[in-house]
Chain A
Amino acid sequence: MNAKSFKVDILARVEGEGGFGVKIKDQHVKEVKLNIFEPPRFFEAFLRGRKFSEAPDITARICGICPIAYQMSACHAVENAFGVQPERAIREMRRLIYCGEWIESHALHIYLLHAPDFLGYEDVIQMAKDHLEAVQRGLRLKKIGNAIMTLVGGREIHPINVRVGGFYKAPTKQQLQALEEDLKWARDAALETTRWVAAFTFPDFQRDYEFVALRHPSEYALNEGRLVSNKGLDIAISEYEQHFAEEHVQHSNALHSTIQERGAYFVGPLARYNLNFEKLSSLAQESAREAGLGRECRNPFQGILVRAVETVYACDEALRIIANYEMPEPASIEVTPRVGTGYGCTEAPRGILYHKYRFDERGMILNAKIVPPTSQNLKTMEDDLGEFVSTRLHLPNDRLQWQCEQAVRNYDPCISCATHFLKVRIERE
């Protein structure tokens, strides 16, 4: 049977609720729509009138999967507005907790959400019946990521220890060293993960994407850097809105982002890998080579492999930070509010997360703008689906549908994040 139009009402194994529809007529793809029906929650509206110090904890609630990303982007934006910069030791602690989130989120996506597609299972529980060892490895890896979040942040979901200026309390070196043994195991497990994933079969698919990520002169960018792309973009994060636009489309409660001159773009692990390969640790680079990845990778289905490589990096980086750790004293710097606008952009597990806040003299938020990674990938995801389906029209609908779901899950979409953030420009100066 040849493919006809179909729709997936609820897309499984993603965070949040969405679905998609593909319309096919006379053996041509007529329309692809990702429907985002996750209900709006209006964060940008109720941030108005809140104090600067509340932004990290409030915005964390946008996403239970990547709260650290929200806390980091918020802290950096506030500090940018008030003209302060925490010292090196605080910066390192921030990188460490971010590594924890990357490990936890990547392990979740690789093992629990995406691998079942490649191996033909409905979910990880079924997969565990035949691949118990791999699933146990994934769960322990995830647990170790969470252990970093819990030690540095207080808990793994919506950590409580992050504040503007730094942290409420810094862990001792001894406490961090207690993680080292597990992290060494995790690094080996991440290397094993790249080998395991490298053996999957990847559909032959690639497009000419514009990849966008942060770039830092000396490290694989997490919290700071310039926004760059493989098509010539190279801007300070404060210039974001001069280059990127958002559009509100009827079928989605998440706005679609585009680069003004060129349209759809791609953020996340694949973008970071293509733009910042040289900044990965040598072990991570080696694991990529061993897995058969080149210096560049344009196949979104191999995103799972790149996530595994980034997991190796995150474990490696966490170990480096712990080895060099000096307890920041005090754990946070003084912050004095002033009138101004601040920008923050950090690399969430799924890609760049942009925050902008405008403050009055008491540090109250006058307006806020938040652009999460998934809404930046939505248009690319739709375009991928359109092209992917057009080369596979001969497949029966159920197989085609599953492959399309897999193609969307390449982006590890977080629909809870993507919904309701991009805002209309009503600036009241």
Chain B
Amino acid sequence: MAPKRKPKIAVWKFASCDGCQLSLLDCEDELLAVAGAVDIANFPEASRAVVGGPYDISLVEGSITTPHDEERIHTIRRATKTLITIGACATSGGIQALRNFKDVEEYTSLVYARREYIETLNKSTPITDHVFVDYQLRGCPINKYQLVEVLSAYLNGRKPVTPAHGVCLECKRLGLVCVMVAEGIPCMGPVTQAGCGALCPAYRRGCYGCFGPKETPNTAALSTWWNQLGVSDPEIVRAFRSFNAWAEPFRKESEARER
């Protein structure tokens, strides 16, 4: 029998801040072990070396915002067995999806002197809008331990464990006093997916939704609660329009409150 081939992993970047792929390099204790177990075939942030496809796993960071990238993601999908999106940009369009609510021409002219030099699409969209995605890892940024979990799950042929429940459960598990109930601090924890470890409430701050909507979120009920805390509708719109603004439940709630 031929010796077992190391799985080939590639890392791809679209419109993003680089933070999610940096999470891989931030696994200081695991990096050399991971690098020993896999063949890192394409990871420009870390290496000059480029190995051609096909790839066993592609990690995709960033959202689709240019005509060129719209094509490129299909090429990557064709060369990939398991495609995993990492982070809010790739799974929901990211902060740059705020353009989706406005006129991109106006945005371009606000930032750039020569509009004709800029090629951009009207919308910033998640990878799932373009190709089939095998697994989506949430967060702005992702949690590096969840990344290691997802990678080792796929390398070992099992399903990753990344809960889809809300941040509230994380608070309860950590024994944190609810910032909204006890201190009246507006918190998006009730509608936001867990994964960060309830970081913001642990620092006495309301969650700001960087992991995006949890499964079956009741966004309308949360907005009503926020109103009772004295939060105005325009403020609620802004709260839902941040790093996961284009994720459907958040988008719908922001649009409902804009009327």
Chain A residues near B (Cβ < 8 Å)? 10-17, 37-46, 48, 50-51, 54, 57-58, 61-65, 67, 108, 112-113, 116, 122-126, 128, 135-136, 139-140, 142-143, 146, 154-158, 160-161, 163, 168-169, 247-250, 253, 255, 402, 405, 414, 416, 420-424, 426
Q: Of A64, A126, A168, A414, which one neighbours B203 at CB under 8 angstroms?
A: A168
Q: Of A50, A116, A143, A160, which one neighbours B28 at CB under 8 angstroms?
A: A143
Q: What CA separation (Å) do A48 and B238 show in the bound complex?
A: 12
3 tightest A-B CB contacts, nearest first = A64-B19, A123-B47, A122-B49
Q: How far is the CB of A113 from chain B (nearest CB, A)?
A: 8
Tell me whether B49 and A108 are in contact (CB under 8 A).
Answer: no
Q: What CA separation (Å) do A16 and B46 show in the bound complex?
A: 11
Whether B222 sits at the interface, judged by CB under 8 Å, is no
Q: What CA separation (Å) do A143 and B202 show in the bound complex?
A: 22
Tell me whether B65 and A39 are in contact (CB under 8 A).
Answer: yes
User: Given A40-B108, A42-B111, A157–B95 Cβ distance below 8 Å?
Assistant: no
Please indicate the chain A residues that have their CB under 8 angstroms from the CB of B107 in the complex: 42, 45-46
Tell me whether A420 and B49 are in contact (CB under 8 A).
Answer: no
Tell me whether B47 and A45 are in contact (CB under 8 A).
Answer: no
User: Given A39-B69, A39-B120, A125-B47, A420–B26 Cβ distance below 8 Å?
Assistant: no
User: Given A58-B242, A64-B17, A248-B112, A10–B44 Cβ distance below 8 Å?
Assistant: yes
Tell me whether B49 and A123 are in contact (CB under 8 A).
Answer: yes
Please indicate the chain A residues that have their CB under 8 angstroms from the CB of B57 in the complex: none
Q: How far is the CB of B205 from chain A (nearest CB, A)?
A: 4
Beyond known contacts A64-B20, A161-B205: 7 more, CB 8 A cutoff: A13-B45, A42-B99, A48-B110, A54-B242, A64-B19, A65-B22, A123-B40
Tell me whether B112 and A423 are in contact (CB under 8 A).
Answer: yes
Tell me whether B18 and A416 are in contact (CB under 8 A).
Answer: yes
User: Given A46-B98, A157-B19, A157-B141, A51–B238 Cβ distance below 8 Å?
Assistant: yes
Please indicate the chain B residues that have their CB under 8 angstroms from the CB of A163 in the complex: 205
Q: Of A14, A37, A45, A64, which one neighbours B141 at CB under 8 angstroms?
A: A64
Please indicate the chain A residues that have their CB under 8 angstroms from the CB of B98 in the complex: 42, 46
Please indicate the chain B residues that have their CB under 8 angstroms from the CB of A168 in the complex: 200, 203-205
Whether B216 sits at the interface, judged by CB under 8 Å, is no
Whether B13 sits at the interface, judged by CB under 8 Å, is yes
Please indicate the chain A residues that have their CB under 8 angstroms from the CB of B111 in the complex: 40, 42-45, 420-424
Please indicate the chain A residues that have their CB under 8 angstroms from the CB of B15 in the complex: 38-39, 41
Which of B46, B108, B117, B242 has most A Cβ within 10 Å? B46
User: Given A65-B22, A157-B19, A421-B111, A41–B31 Cβ distance below 8 Å?
Assistant: no
Tell me whether A157 and B23 are in contact (CB under 8 A).
Answer: yes
Tell me whether B65 and A40 are in contact (CB under 8 A).
Answer: yes
- Find the A residue at minimum CB distance from B202: A154
Whether B226 sits at the interface, judged by CB under 8 Å, is no
Q: How far is the CB of B255 from chain A (nearest CB, A)?
A: 16
Q: How far is the CB of A389 from chain B (nearest CB, A)?
A: 18
Tell me whether A54 and B203 are in contact (CB under 8 A).
Answer: no
Q: Of B22, B31, B243, which one neighbours A64 at CB under 8 angstroms?
A: B22
Please indicate the chain A residues that have their CB under 8 angstroms from the CB of B235 in the complex: 51
Interface flags for B6-33 (1: CB within 8 Å of A; 0: not) read 0000000111111110110110110110
- Find the B residue at minimum CB distance from A402: B48
Interface flags for B76-108 (1: CB within 8 Å of A; 0: not) read 000000000000000000111011001010111
Q: What CA separation (Å) do A223 and B20 show in the bound complex?
A: 26
- Find the B residue at minimum CB distance from A248: B113
24 A–B contacts from the bound complex (CB under 8 Å): A12-B44, A15-B45, A39-B14, A40-B108, A41-B94, A42-B110, A45-B99, A58-B95, A63-B19, A65-B18, A112-B46, A123-B40, A124-B47, A139-B28, A139-B31, A139-B32, A143-B28, A155-B141, A168-B200, A248-B113, A255-B113, A424-B110, A426-B109, A426-B110
